[in-house]
Amino acid sequence: VEAAITLQMLLSEQENAQDILKPHVRQIILDLLTIIRETENDDLTTVMQKLVCVYKDEVTPLAVEITNHLAETFAQVISSDSESDDKAISAMGILNTLDTIVTVMENEKEILQHIEGIVLQVIGLILQHNVIDFYEEMLSLVYSLTCTQVTPKMWEAFHFLYDLFQKDNLDYFTDMMPALHNYITVDPAAFLSNPRHMEIIYEMCKKVLTSDSGEDAECHAAKLLEVILLQFKGQVDSVVMTFVQLALERLTKEVRTSELRTMCLQVVVAALYYDPAGLLESLEKMHMPNTNEAITGQFLKQWLHDTDCFLGLHDRKMCALGLCTLMDTPPNRPAAVTAVAPQLLPSLIMIFNGLEKAYQFRANEEDSDDEEEEGEEVEEAELDDEEDDIDDEGREYLEKLDKSANGDLGDDDDDDDDDEFDEIEETALESYETPLDKDECPIDEYAVFKGLMQALEQRDPSWYQALVSNLNEQ
């Protein structure tokens, strides 16, 4: 064990250690597998992870053998009568090592297919023994196995996830979310090929949004609905209003955070972007409780009121495209849309100002990543200082976000603080990519806006005047 840990330290601290150890990697790995099987030690699985990451070329021919050894060891550990912490730590280390192997081998399709079957046996063991402590690691494995392709075996795992969710495991929905997102976006054709797939996603989201599951899980559920509307624009007409009704119903109940309120609004905005005429027609037929008033006006009022709560790149882009879609409605537009005409362009200007800063922030991050990849090294002490700075910024951001959500941001904040707050804005759900977020996406919200304003001035001058009448010269 001490020798293995020493090897790990060498790999981490000595540049020439990698070349020196390379000829011996195969034997080292085989020895480690034997010792792990005999001792069930966490320390050794950590060493294994390091070796797998550093020596991908050497590990590739051994990947299936390593995975099989680890799976057998996991079965041995999980079946033992021991209830010690060491048992749990050993099992968790094996699962993390399996996840590392899957991630490293994700582009080796043939090898991955063999690994996939072995890992699914491990997942089956966890479900069979109902080991809740390992659910997060198990769900991470499902995610890793669906990042680049979704095989027939992994579609079977999709149904396992639903069964797991149904067995009072609502708390694990956020952990399931990355894998669920993969099932929708990595193989969209296969997702649509079976109507049961859509039913399962809807049933899960509905249960989360109508149960006391916490607003974080509810935000994830609403995000999943939005992802489907954007991923399958023009292909899932039958579910659009079902999704909208679910989001609107949640808004009629107490909402504690601006994030959830914005995310539910965004589902409706995505539906507007999906089918503007169909959505507005449906909203006009829906009425506020105990009144004859169409729900359209209330939705628009809430959306425009919360425009400043749309944060990050994706949410702001979605909001901008939604507002442009609203402005592009034909002259027979609902009266509720006409009534908010003076508010549309000021809201868009606010969104575009935020987008400019968000794009700059992302560009700065990408530049920083490029510099690191080119070999720029930072001293350990400097890293510690930067991490402290990031922690301070994070705390300040959360405090300001909390104040903003509660309407407590005063006018006495100076401009520098506001700029810093805007600069670091991004959303926790930003990583769940949609077609609008891809680098090759042809839809530029700035170009859409410019083209729309030029067209409206010629096509519908009275509506154009209604939109710009509330603006000053600047």
**Cβ neighbours of 370 (radius 10 Å):** 10
Both ends of the chain: CA-CA distance in Å? 70
Distance CA 258, CA 191 (A): 31
Tokens describing residue 332: 């027979």
**Cβ neighbours of 410 (radius 10 Å):** 6
Beta bridge partners of 294: 287
Question: If you count them, how many residues does the chain have?
Answer: 474
Segment among 109-118, 369-378, 422-431, 448-457 with least mean pLDDT: 369-378
Q: Is residue 119 predicted with pLDDT exceeding 70?
A: yes
Cα–Cα distances (Å) from 371 to 53, 361, 364, in that order, read 22, 16, 11
The whole-number average pLDDT for the span 119-133 is: 90
- Selection from 9, 5, 27, 30 nearest residue 18 by Cα: 9
Amino acid residing at 46: T
Distance CA 25, CA 102 (A): 19
Mean per-residue pLDDT of the chain: 86
Tokens describing residue 421: 């707050």
Contact assessment for residue 329 and residue 361, using Cβ atoms and an 8 Å cutoff: no
Distance CA 388, CA 86 (A): 33
Distance CA 107, CA 390 (A): 34
- Selection from 195, 165, 194 nearest residue 180 by Cα: 165
**Between residues 474 and 434, the one the model is more confident about:** 434
Confidence of residue 442 (pLDDT cuts 50, 70, 90): very high
What pLDDT is attached to residue 274? 97
Q: Is residue 437 predicted with pLDDT exceeding 50?
A: yes
